[in-house]
Amino acid sequence: MLEEIKKLIYTKYKPENKIWLFFSLFDDKWKLLISNGVLTTDKTLEEMITLLYNWILKKQESKTKHIIIDIVNNIIEQKDINTFLNMDPKTNWVLLAEITWEKTWIILPNTKWITSMKQAVAWIKSKYQLQWDVTISTFTVDELILDK
């Protein structure tokens, strides 16, 4: 499966690129098994694919029937709150980060119960009990799907 994942990703991206990505694994009924990824790295795409494969996919491989690979594009820090609040929560990922970027939290686009960007930030802050200021960024992804 690792080679299939690499082949799929390498049709659009070079192995030596330093790209952030997420893997989401689903069973045969599209029930989410696990989702995880990396936003900051100094590793190449080839290294990250192998790390994520060994970290999350290898353990779930027998149950996994569908893999969604999200390649992160266009992370933009949202300094204008009005612009941010008017963005579509159905198409934009929301990223909150400590100023140092040592900790980050995200919410996926099109999450069923999120109807506004304000609600997305409030949900992240509530879920992780964040009491301090964070930077708010948004990003989009290039989604690739691999079916077993």
Q: Render pLDDT for 77-108 as a digit per residue (tens, 0 to 9).
A: 899 989 999 998 888 888 877 766 677 778 77
Distances (CA, A) of 31 to 4, 20, 57, 106: 21, 24, 15, 20
Q: 3-state DSSP call for residue 20?
A: coil
Cα–Cα dist 47/40, whole Å: 13
pLDDT at 147: 94
Question: pTM to 2 decimals?
Answer: 0.78
pLDDT (tens digit, 9 = 90+) per residue, 32-75? Answer: 898 888 877 889 999 999 999 998 888 899 999 999 999 988 78
Query: Beta partners for 136?
Result: 96
The beta strand positions in the chain, using DSSP E, are 21-26, 32-38, 66-77, 93-97, 104-107, 135-147
Whole-number pLDDT of residue 74: 78
Q: What pLDDT is attached to residue 112? A: 80
Q: What do you get for the CA distance between the two ends of the chain, in Å? A: 8
Secondary structure (3-state) at 12:
coil
Q: pLDDT tens for residues 130-148?
A: 777 788 888 888 899 999 8
